[in-house]
Structure 1
Amino acid sequence: MTALRGATRLALLLAAVAVGSFALVVNSPVDPVAAYVGADVAALGPAQRALIAQRWGLDDPAPERFLAWLGNLVRGDFGFSATFNRPVLEVIGDKFLASLALMALAWLLSGVLGFALGLVAGARQGRLSDRAITWWCYTLASAPAFWVGLLLLYAFAVSLNWAPVCCAVPIGVPAAEVTPLDRLHHLVLPALTLSVVGIAPVVLHTRRAVVETMAADHVTFARAQGERGLGLVVHRVARNAAAPALLLQFGSLGELFGGSVLAEQVFSYPGLGAATTAAALGQDVPLLLGIVLFTAVLVFAGNAVGDRLHAALDPRAALADGRGRS
């Protein structure tokens, strides 16, 4: 029953996302013919423009275009990307593999560092370290990812020359000669930029959970028996604080992908975020809808995993959820 409910929710989510995304794209002020042709659009005559529109089905009514795309999707055909001149599934697969290392590293950095700093801030509530971490998090939460990326790029790539300016691999080096160290060298700055998207909420939620747990009766009893410092936080507090942090971390995949669009543009990183921008600017409807659906499934799966882990770490959440559904 739970699996059926989850499948129904996913189907409804994908339907709403597909309809909403298609409506936004077809009502965009960008001329799809001009986006496809590029700088030579001024040389096009009415007949040539009409042929291009007919070739891509742009002269059909929007409902017919959507139903045609939906019919192909049901048969497993996601369409063809005019931007990359390849099938949509191939583009998504290649670009996602390029973005996977970036998003995974940023996700781990924001989760591990955010949880550790949240534990420190909550355990030392009201002290200088708590105020410094909290101020730092509020600053990060209000800073746009692209602005942070530009600052890091200027500081470490332009001024100090410690990191490359762009791309996922060294320019001009054959793919067979690119080492894992080269890829990691190009990955550090984009991953640091992207981790800013998720670190502040994890710190602040973890801090609040730690403060609440430190005031609980079992922690007071442990203190009365002589437990102090790191041992008290690790054995009595960390488990309760980990539940909301994990739920938030797995639920932030959508924000992580949104941040990757900006980060990949700043660092010219050829991943799924850059492909999304190219599809939107080029009115590449099949590719854009394919990326949107893929991202929706990814976010839904992340939320589902986060709910399961939250229930495993905090049984009270599972009981409350069960009562709410009954």
Structure 2
Amino acid sequence: MSPIDPLKTNVGQTALGSMSEQQIQKVKEYWGVDKPPLKRYFAWAKEALKGNMGISLLYRQDVTKIIWEKLKNSIILMGTAWILSGLFGVALGVLAAVKRETWVDKIIKSYCFLIASTPGFWMGILLIIIFSVWLNWFPIGLSVPIGMDMAEVTILDRIRHAVLPTVTLSVLGVANIALHTREKMIDVMQSDYVLFARARGESDWEIIKWHGLRNILLPVITLQFASISEIVGGTVLIEQTFSYPGLGQAAVIAGLGSDMPLLMGITIVSASLVFVGNFIANVLYHVIDPRIR
């Protein structure tokens, strides 16, 4: 159903126009575009189960190899952003609940609503303008300095190039976790056992530590691991904005270039990351709350 013709995209309109019908037919057979969609899918799925996801039409390399190279770059962004957004989201949510209806709560809620309605690519461009163009603190894009030999690239160089994309992903992921944590924490703070704790003379910090955090732990875990899907989806826009050579940018390139083997491989890997995250969350439920066993 895509309007992009894979033959015109990968061979070129001019080259395709100079081919004979026999040559065009051979190219179609090589890429399998002359077969029915269902037959193509099952042929792909059979090989994918064996670990063979095919050859990328654009990179002319094994799809598994390309995904592994791109994933190594993306996992740095996604992992760091996932941890930071979780920590700041929970902290802001708890603080807003404890300071409910005060100026602190209103500022945090306003921040979350603003961030939740902000497009990821716009936030990325804003950070580039401020921190790369105006202040010249960080490079504008890519994962390594331009023109530098790979053997000369240091860990510090990679970190500097990853800071702005990571911050963008982290900031965008805070809002959802913070708002949900706030609601759960408010329920806890209004409970009878918290009222009893106050009657015993416990301070706000003791109540948060011994009653609040322990009782919102399961919802927090659910939100944190569910946010993996948002992080994975967000990398597509953020990596494209910062020209960061990761899995997200590879997905955009594969989609625009009609590179179906690479696009399918990225889809499977992305879905697997989300599945593993949800599976780990379910396992942690049993560890934290023995009643669930």
**Is this a same-fold pair by TM over 0.5?**
yes
TM-score by length of 1: 0.85
Give 2:247's aligned residue: 272
Name the CA distance, whole Å, in 1 between partners of 2:92 and 2:105.
9
Q: Deviations over 1:118-170 (max 9, x none)?
A: 11001111110001001110111111111111111111111111110010111
CA-CA distance at 1:279 after TM superposition? 1.1
Give 2:90's aligned residue: 115
Answer yes or no: is the 8 Å Cα contact 1:198–1:249 preserved in 2. Answer: no
CA-CA distance at 1:208 after TM superposition? 0.8
Give 1:290's aligned residue: 265
Give 1:229's aligned residue: 204
Give 2:187's aligned residue: 212
Give 1:193's aligned residue: 168
124, 128, 133: which one aligns with 2:108: 133
Which range is displaced more, 235-244 or 79-88?
235-244
CA-CA distance at 1:176 after TM superposition? 1.8
SS of 1:275 mapped into structure 2? helix
Q: Which runs of 5+ in 1 are unaligned?
A: 1-26, 320-326
Name the CA distance, whole Å, in 2 between partners of 1:146 and 1:42.
36
Residue 135 (structure 2) pairs with residue 165 (structure 1): no
Residue 2 (structure 2) pairs with residue 28 (structure 1): yes
Answer yes or no: is the 8 Å Cα contact 1:240–1:314 preserved in 2. Answer: no
CA-CA distance at 1:196 after TM superposition? 3.1
Name the CA distance, whole Å, in 2 between partners of 1:299 and 1:172.
36
Answer yes or no: is the 8 Å Cα contact 1:247–1:310 preserved in 2. Answer: no
Answer yes or no: is the 8 Å Cα contact 1:247–1:309 preserved in 2. Answer: no
Change in 2 beyond 3 A, CA 1:228/1:253: same
Name the CA distance, whole Å, in 1 between partners of 2:9 and 2:167.
33
Residue 11 (structure 2) pairs with residue 37 (structure 1): yes
Change in 2 beyond 3 A, CA 1:262/1:203: same
Q: Deviations over 1:213-235 (max 9, x none)?
A: 11112211111111123232122
After superposition, the CA RMSD in angstroms is: 1.8
Moved over 6 A (4+): none
Answer yes or no: is the 8 Å Cα contact 2:184–2:216 preserved in 1. Answer: yes
65, 70, 73: which one aligns with 2:48: 73
Matches within 5 A, 1:37-56: 37-38=11-12, 40=14, 43-45=17-19, 47=21, 48-56=23-31
Name the CA distance, whole Å, in 2 between partners of 1:97 and 1:150.
24
Give 1:63's aligned residue: 38
Answer yes or no: is the 8 Å Cα contact 2:63–2:261 preserved in 1. Answer: yes
Instruction: Percent identity, please.
Output: 43
SS of 2:216 mapped into structure 1? helix
Which range is displaced more, 280-289 or 265-274?
280-289
Name the CA distance, whole Å, in 2 between partners of 1:226 and 1:59.
76
Aligned length in residues: 292
SS of 2:282 mapped into structure 1? helix
